[in-house]
Amino acid sequence: MLDGKSRVDEKFVEENMCPIGLASHLLGDKWIAIIIRDIALFNRRTFNDILNNNRENISSGSLSARLKLMRDLKLLEIGTSEQHAQKKPYYLTESGIAFVPILFKLAAWTATFRAPAQDIVSLTQPYLDEDADRMGWLLERLRTFNIHKSEEPEPLWWA
C-alpha cells in the first residue's frame, strides 16, 4: 500500500504491476472502502461523523492516516463548512465516485457467499442486481453532492 513510509519506488511499481495487483497495492486496505461507503452512501463527511458512526469501529489514528492516504491518492478532497470554520467536510473526487460501483460488486459477492448485515443487504439489493440505469443515477447524484456541491443529500437518499 502506498503510505509515504515505504521505500518502494512507487513509479516503478505502478508501471510494472498488472492492473489487479496495482489496485490491490493502492487500495488493499479495508478502511478505504469503508470510508468511501460512509461518505458516498451515508453522507458522513467529517472526521467525527466517520469516526463515531461506522459499524466497524475505526480508530482515530487509522482514520486520520487513511484520510491522508485517500487525499494523496486523489480519492477525496477537503471542503469548507459555512457553519463552522474548523469543520472540514470530505468530498469524493471523480476517482472516488468511480470506486462506488466496485463497492457494490463487493457487496454482491459477500451477500451471495457470506452472511453480512441483512439490513444493509436489503438497502443495497437494487444495486446488486446489476441495474445499469440505477447505478448511473446513483453516480450522477454523487457527482451532484461531491463534485458540484450543488445539493446536500437527505439521509439514505440512495435507498
Domain spans in the chain, listed from the N-terminal domain onward: 10-146
Helix (H) or strand (E) holding 76: strand 76-78
For the CA atoms of 83, 88, 89, 90, the dihedral, rounded to the nearest 10 degrees, stands at 170
pLDDT in the model for residue 6: 52
Total-model pTM: 0.85
Give per-residue pLDDT as tens, 44-64: 999 999 999 988 999 999 999
Question: Cβ(39)–Cβ(92) under 8 Å?
Answer: yes
Instruction: Summarize pLDDT for 99-148 with one digit per residue, the tens.
Output: 999 999 999 999 999 989 898 889 888 888 777 899 999 999 999 999 99
Question: Nearest Cα to 102, choosing from 19, 3, 11?
Answer: 19
The architecture of the domain spanning 10-146 is: Orthogonal Bundle (1.10)
**Is 5's pLDDT higher than 60?**
no
Mean pLDDT (the chain) is 88
Phi-psi region of 156 (alpha: psi -120 to 50; beta: other; left: phi over 0): left
